[in-house]
């Protein structure tokens, strides 16, 4: 994703989906603990650089975190 942005040949649809993935990441991060800015920046940069794969990793981490809290 970052290479496409640097080259300037990024389709509008790809930028729209990146914005949507970052928005969904922010919504997901609001439910997780701890809500520190370093945590937010790390996850947002991961999603920005890896796009959809980073968002899937966040969703898996979030699901595991909720499952672990439920069974603790």
| pLDDT on residue 3 | 61
pTM for the full predicted model: 0.72
| Residue 19, domain extent | 2-70
Token output for 30: 């609001």
Q: Is 36 left (phi over 0), alpha (psi -120 to 50) or beta?
A: beta
Q: Provide the domain count of the chain.
A: 1
| pLDDT on residue 4 | 66
Per DSSP, the three-state class of 35 is coil
Q: DSSP strand E in 1-72: where?
A: none
| pLDDT on residue 23 | 92
21 class by beta-carbon count within 10 Å (0-12 exposed, 13-18 middle, 19+ buried): buried
């Amino acid at each position: 994703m970052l290479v496409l942005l640097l080259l300037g040949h990024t389709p509008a649809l790809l930028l729209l989906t990146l914005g949507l993935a970052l928005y969904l990441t922010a919504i997901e991060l609001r439910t997780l603990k701890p809500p520190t800015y370093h945590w937010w920046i790390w996850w947002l940069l991961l999603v920005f650089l890896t796009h959809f794969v980073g968002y899937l990793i966040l969703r898996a981490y979030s699901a595991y975190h909720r499952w672990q809290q439920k069974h603790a």
